[in-house]
Structure 1
Amino acid sequence: MSLPHASGHSSAASASASSPTSAARAFRPPAPVPPEAPRRTVSFVLAAARNPLEIWSRRAFREPVSRADWLGVPTFTINDPALIRHCLVDNARNYAMQPLRQRLLRPILRDGLLTAEGELWRRTRRAMAPVFTPKNILGFAPVMRARTEGFAERLMARDGETVDLSFQMTLLTYDILQATLFSDDIAGEPQAFARSMERTIAQMGRVDPLDILNAPAFLPRLGRLAARGAQEHLRQVIRATAEKRRALLAADPERAPNDFLTLLLKTDGLSEAEIEDNIVTFIGAGHETTARALGWTLYLLSQAPEERAAVEAEVDALLPELPDPATWLDRLPRTRAALEEAMRFYPPAPSLNRTAIAADSFGSTDIPAGSTVLFLPWILHRHETLWEAPDEFRPARFLPENRGRIDRFQYLPFGAGPRVCIGASFALQEGVIALAGLVRRLRFHHAGTRAPYPVQRITIQPRGGLPMRIERRPN
């Protein structure tokens, strides 16, 4: 039995060359080498448990639509932007969360926005929309800048040292997270909370062979059992912190900080348990994804000196003239382009998995009811029919003058349609502010003996970390 991609379909996929021609010696970021032929069953299961990025054959990066059957279920991988729009936007109600994805995430996130479905999801999305207004997001920009600058100052004192930059970025984004989510007002010991958070996130998205084989839920997944204590401690701290904030809001609302916790507690339509679930979701989906995006961006810039010089020149010239960090996202196009190109290679959400509720048809593609439908930014962002030089690091393709060449549905770092990431603007703003603040003061040089190897968990992580040597830039 062959696994994806066993057969190709004709499709109306756009074959636009969506990036400008650039330097001939562009850096090619590391990635697993796709096998020439689709994997057989045993090889597929082992690869999926080890690293899901390794299961896709070369055909996956060339075909607009492909189909294979897994355990008797038709499985479609979609790389046609028009069909992606149809499934995720125009007919989104026909595509529910895929059961494997839910088995991985629901034990941790429960009824958070990322895993909620149906009327619960619609009610939660409506309730949380006021929390993520542009006004609220922009209001967090000064905190993001201050925490980044403080973090950069501490790293400057380590000039010449080699650090695991992947871990350092989790520290930075955790600092920003606790400042914007809790205003540093966490009940209990912050370091214990941080450790529980890291153990919980490490388990999220880790595929067990029993999940791939659709084994009954009562069969234990050992990795999840090992992380259960950390998950419960995380939730205990969140409950205690929320209770403390509720008491402050009742006694003296003027003293309560205007952070995400306060905004969530003021929402209508969410129970205490649902607020807790969405805080866990925000920690898992927000903190981890931004940390990985920053780490990969700084690594890629370290391997592309001309691109790094362009970003450094931009922040050196413009940051002194831009005291308000809320303007940086729009005023630092090269910095933003580097971050977005890094997210093309290493997308925050590498897979978006759905199940067709009813039969559907689009163009020459017929999708039976019950089919698994995969939208995989890991493949889509590297697809040979959609991108010019897809394996080359070319941030210029995301500059404003070139952005129009990219179809809205060929670049999905935050998903698309009704379930697009509600925190996308927060994450993008945080990423640009943090990247600019770090590049202004520091330069990082890869110090590993080999290129970092990307592994998919809930995000795409560098196996073994990112060893990088710190260099303090002259002011």
Structure 2
Amino acid sequence: MDMRPEPFEPPAPEPRTVPPSRLEIIRTILRNPLELWGVPSYTLPWIETRFFREHTLIVNDPGLIRHILVDNARNYRMADVRQLVLRPILRDGLLTAEGAVWKRSRKAVAPIFTPRHSQGFAGQMLRQSERYAEKYAGAGAEGVVFDISTDMTELTFAILADTLFSGEIASSSNFADDVNALLHRMGRVDPMDLLKAPAWVPRLTRIGGRKVLDKFREIVRRTMDMRLERMKAEPDAVPKDLLTLLLEQLGSDGLTSGEIEDNILTFIGAGHETTARALAWTLYCVANCPNVRKDMEAEIDQVLASGAEPVEWLELMPRTRAAFEEGMRLYPPAPSINRAAIEADRWTSPQGEVVDIPQGITVLIMPWTLHRHELYWNRPRAFMPERFLPENRDRIDRFQYLPFGAGPRVCIGATFALQEAVVALAVLMHRFRFDVTAATRPWPVQRLTTQPANGLPMRVSARPGAASSV
């Protein structure tokens, strides 16, 4: 008899069985787009839909995804609705820029995010994780309840500030609250976006976010000014981090001041946010899976006891990495990838099925539905980290799992994020237990990232016999 417990199925909207009305579509998109998708989105390889005048192709087939994001990527630009949401925040940052501007920015930041360079950040990630863990030091065996969603935002910001900006960000003390306010107010689709109204038409849902966005931009400008002054005063002592690298590109042959500001805002405001959300969801899922947690703790304890350097942890902790990757599968930090066809296109599946892609059609690739798709995953709604263990990874198609996207616009910080997550989980879980409480009732909501509505209150307690530091 199989005595293993049933795998945990964390909360998520049930697929719709009845198509919504137009009014219901608008209401759902404004409230939470993750609640919009019906059974076909989780069971069919592709779907064509129309909403008002918008012709959309929803793509789940890994082969078709590869065609759009890699093989014929030049034929697909950013979709209009996506840009109407993101460009008011990030302008010409790396996530929103296109054409020559995007190429300049990508080239400017690429040296920082090579795998070899990213590995050099492991020591700083460890130091900041240990420092942040002291917040829980007084929890004791009884435990204290913390909002883990907020805490992971603070932790990943501390890591980003130290690694990419050498601790020299002119930030405020309530940074996590500012990020939440910015994404809540600015990171949602407005009815004017659905109607493709010009950017100058006011978006009533975002009026409250303008103040916090202005605050973020002021932080960025002060950060740039501080570093420029230091570059002039002591050029030989300036750290060669992302901030310096960007500012060294300032000029007619490189980046404009505005483009540098946009990229810094992108990394400060969004670069850490995706990892923070994934870490919080992972800790929540692990707390509901005692056997998974037990295996992770044993792995973490063994690696730390061996004295291995933190740069090695990503490879030495496959169970910890697998739990994080499964967390990103169920709660992808970026739940949608939006493109539009520049010219008409055609794709033929290995089985001979033909998909005609008209010029101008919106192409929607949804990691949210793709990662929960019944054609590609066994028990797709269940938290099963073993899917991502080394012996099972070959069963996962490269284009059925897209936490970092794919193709030319794949997330430049993917290696950085994976290493950061494993280091943070190892430090926290070596010393503490994270458990759910009666108030832990998260609900996934799409606000640019996949966020837990009402936060993630969890009880943090000291692990018996755990060391006070790594």
Residue type at the aligned position of 1:161: V
Runs of 5+ in structure 1 lacking a partner?
1-20
Q: Partner residue of 1:284?
A: 269
Task: Determine which of 203, 209, 217 is the counterpart of 1:221.
Answer: 203
For 2:306 and 2:242, how far apart are their aligned partners in 1?
A: 29
Displacement of 1:219 in angstroms is 3.2
Displacement of 1:450 in angstroms is 5.8
For 2:255 and 2:96, how far apart are their aligned partners in 1?
A: 15
Cα separation, partners in 2 of 1:193 and 1:307, compared to 1, 3 Å: closer
1:401 match: secondary structure? coil
1:114 match: secondary structure? coil
Query: Which range moved further: 155-164 or 298-307?
Result: 155-164
Which deviations, in whole Å up to 9, do the C-alpha atoms of 1:103-128 show, x marking residues without a partner? 00000100001000112212221222
For 2:439 and 2:213, how far apart are their aligned partners in 1?
A: 35
CA contact (8 A) 1:193 1:233 kept: no
Structure 2 residue 278 is the aligned partner of structure 1 residue 293: yes
Q: Partner residue of 1:183?
A: 166
For 1:263 and 1:223, how far apart are their aligned partners in 2?
A: 36
Cα separation, partners in 2 of 1:192 and 1:61, compared to 1, 3 Å: closer
Which deviations, in whole Å up to 9, do the C-alpha atoms of 1:310-364 show, x marking residues without a partner? 1001001111224421111111100000000000000011000001111111021
CA contact (8 A) 1:97 1:353 kept: yes
TM-score, length basis structure 2: 0.93
Structure 2 residue 359 is the aligned partner of structure 1 residue 374: no
Structure 2 residue 393 is the aligned partner of structure 1 residue 403: yes
Q: Partner residue of 1:143?
A: 124
Displacement of 1:192 in angstroms is 6.0
Which deviations, in whole Å up to 9, do the C-alpha atoms of 1:261-312 show, x marking residues without a partner? 1232234722221111001111233211111011000000000100011100
Structure 2 residue 187 is the aligned partner of structure 1 residue 202: no
Query: Which range moved further: 460-469 or 242-251?
Result: 242-251
CA contact (8 A) 1:302 1:308 kept: yes
2:400 match: secondary structure? coil
Q: Partner residue of 1:247?
A: 229
Displacement of 1:33 in angstroms is 1.3
For 1:184 and 1:201, how far apart are their aligned partners in 2?
A: 24
Q: Partner residue of 2:351?
A: none
Displacement of 1:216 in angstroms is 4.1
For 1:43 and 1:22, how far apart are their aligned partners in 2?
A: 44
Which deviations, in whole Å up to 9, do the C-alpha atoms of 1:430-471 show, x marking residues without a partner? 111111111111111111346311111111111101110111
Runs of 5+ in structure 2 lacking a partner?
349-353
Cα separation, partners in 2 of 1:98 and 1:76, compared to 1, 3 Å: same
Alignment of 1:52-451 (within 5 A): 52-159=33-140, 160-187=143-170, 190-191=172-173, 196-267=178-249, 269-363=254-348, 364-449=354-439, 451=441
CA contact (8 A) 1:74 1:368 kept: no
Q: 4+ runs of 1 displaced by more than 4 Å?
A: 21-24, 192-198
Query: Which range moved further: 173-182 or 341-350?
Result: 173-182
Query: Which range moved further: 221-230 or 364-373?
Result: 221-230
CA contact (8 A) 2:112 2:241 kept: no
For 2:265 and 2:180, how far apart are their aligned partners in 1?
A: 12
2:392 match: secondary structure? helix
1:354 match: secondary structure? strand
CA contact (8 A) 2:300 2:426 kept: yes
For 1:227 and 1:205, how far apart are their aligned partners in 2?
A: 9
For 1:168 and 1:441, how far apart are their aligned partners in 2?
A: 16
For 1:57 and 1:155, how far apart are their aligned partners in 2?
A: 41
Which deviations, in whole Å up to 9, do the C-alpha atoms of 1:198-222 show, x marking residues without a partner? 4334334212222223334343212
Q: Partner residue of 2:447?
A: 457
For 2:79 and 2:307, how far apart are their aligned partners in 1?
A: 44
RMSD: 1.8
Residue type at the aligned position of 2:91: R
Q: Partner residue of 1:37?
A: 18
CA contact (8 A) 1:345 1:382 kept: yes
For 1:192 and 1:165, how far apart are their aligned partners in 2?
A: 15
CA contact (8 A) 1:349 1:458 kept: yes
1:362 match: secondary structure? strand
